Structure 1
Amino acid sequence: MIYFFADFSFKTGEYPDKQKWLSLQSQVDSMKIDDSRKLPKLYLFNPNFITDYKGYKLGMSVEQIDRLLVFRKKNKYVNSPEEFQNVTKISDSLLNLISPYFKFPDWVNNKKELKEYKKRPYIDFSKNEKIVLIDINQATKEDLVKIYGIGEAISVRILKQKETLGGFVSMEQMQDIWGLSPEVIENLITHFKVLAVPRFKKIEVNNASLRELSQFHYFRYALAKEIVTYRSMNGNIKNIEDLTKIKGFPVDKANIIGLYLDFN
């Protein structure tokens, strides 16, 4: 009988190649994690008007988005990345990622112009001229550019938004238009109103396809998908209150959104 003796004890240091491989694998795993957290392609945007879907895509939690919505309900605006973080409580790392894309109105960055603006808010209107309210849905580009702070680009943006929606149902919708400061919106409200709800084709919530729902300005794809899922599991959606139960629905805009929908 022959006996063989072998020493099966070994030290990790005796296999440098294995250690090197493990180290490289760890780096690869780390890179995969970082890659999975990359933000979608971003363009400049006003952080005051982040929607639920936009916030989700940016990496914000539901609680962080809700804090911003509650803040905005008070008709308040953040005017810097620091204020945005104070309100939402997002992390420093997320703030560093998204704040370079923040675009605040010019008046925020130019206090001198703001002071001049406060002195003459209605520069294009005579002091003695009686203000005649115009239906915002009947307003022309020429009507809009008379408001101090609205140039040709923003007036076209307002008219395009009206066309997309089929018409405005509330002056609150001016807050959804990029580039309008609170002061300019206040001036708009002084001269324009929704004197009559326009006639437009309402969206049939219970019959519309996922694509049709996702094309609605206030829904987008993620929320439209949630609506279709809710509809298939619970039957027809009876009213706007049913929609507010759905994850991601912008509750603060429920009254406005409801006017664009048909629940039959």
Structure 2
Amino acid sequence: MSWKDYLYIHKGDRIAIILLLILIVISGGIYILVSIQKENDKTICPESEREFEAFIEKLKDTDSTNSYPQENHIQKDSTQYTEYAHQEKLKTGETIEINSSDTTDLKKIPGIGSTFSNRIVKYRNLLGGYNNLNQLKEVWGMDDDLFNKIIPYLKITPNTKKIKVNTASFEELNKHPYIKYKRAKIIIDIRERKGKIESMDRLSLLEEFTEADIKRLTPYLSFD
């Protein structure tokens, strides 16, 4: 038997060997690719972690920034509530003068808060001052229960601003709660047609001015 016989390989064996070599090459290639990927991951991961950490820190900073207005709002509301809860109120027997008091004074009356104190002052300004305490019933929203509750804490010194009937403009007459548009127009018309209006008696002759109107208007009109 020659040495060639030892090296002779059957066709079937040759195919098997070739397939084995191909598998070895493929396996080697896969191994190399996996190794390269691992190296890349080692390079990328730390950087990705740093970016993720930076993102988390940014979120924390944003949350902290947004929390300040909320905390301030809560603190402000708590302060306002505390001030309201400890607001000084008048005791039984104590009174304030309705024509000289401001909204702060009025809020000392039990049952009166910001809304009604503002309405009372606003209506007083429209009238030109209160002439009697019953006029408070004309304040919008004032019912008998609230009126009866606050009246013991009030006193009045009548002090009204008078409108000069013969020289006042239509706008000035119109804005007074007891005159308004129709009566203001009549006054202007009489002045233009017949001259100076001498007294309330002249107005009492007009159907637009009832006896009740004359009575409540008298403290607010001047015929000079």
TM-score, length basis structure 1: 0.45
The AA in structure 2 aligned to 1:209 is S
Map of 1:186 onto structure 2: 148
Q: In structure 2, how many angstroms separate the alpha carbons of the residues matched to 1:254 and 1:193?
A: 24
Which residue is equivalent to 2:220? Answer: 260
Matches within 5 A, 1:162-181: 162-181=124-143
Q: Map of 1:80-159 to 2, 5 A cutoff?
A: 126=91, 129=92, 131-159=93-121
Please tell me the residue identity of whatever aligns with 1:176. Answer: E
Following TM superposition, by how much is the alpha carbon of 1:168 offset from its aligned partner in structure 2, in angstroms? 1.6
Match of 2:196 in 1: 236
Which residue of structure 2 lines up, in the alignment, with residue 216 of structure 1?
176
Tell me how far 1:148 sits from its aligned partner.
Answer: 4.2
* Alignment root-mean-square deviation, CA: 2.5
Unaligned segments of structure 1, at least 5 residues: 1-123
Is the alpha carbon distance of 1:133 and 1:224 closer, same or farther for their aligned partners in structure 2, counting shifts above 3 Å? same
1:257 and 1:250 mapped to 2: Cα distance?
10
Q: 1:158 to 1:150 in 2, by over 3 A?
A: same
SS in 1 for 2:196: coil
SS at match of 2:201: helix
Between 169-178 and 209-218, the greater mean CA deviation after superposition:
209-218
* 2:110 and 2:150 in contact (8 A); partners too: no
Q: Which residue of 2 aligns with 1:203?
A: 163
Give the deviation of 1:219 after TM superposition. 1.1
Q: CA deviation at 1:172?
A: 2.1
What's the CA shift for 1:136?
0.3
Query: CA–CA distance in 1 between the matches of 2:146 and 2:157?
Result: 20
Alpha-carbon deviations, 1:159-204, whole Å to 9, x = none? 1122233322221221221110112222333221222425x3x211
Distance change (3 Å), C-alpha of 1:153 and 1:189:
same
Deviation of the 1:233 alpha carbon: 4.2
Q: Distance in 2 between matches of 1:197 and 1:179?
A: 24
Q: Deviations over 1:190-224 (max 9, x none)?
A: 221222425x3x21112223233212232111111
Higher helix share: 2
TM superposition score normalised by structure 2: 0.52
SS of 2:182's partner is helix
Q: CA separation of 1:149/1:134 partners in 2, compared to 1, >3 Å: closer, same or farther?
A: closer
| SS of residue paired to 1:259 | helix
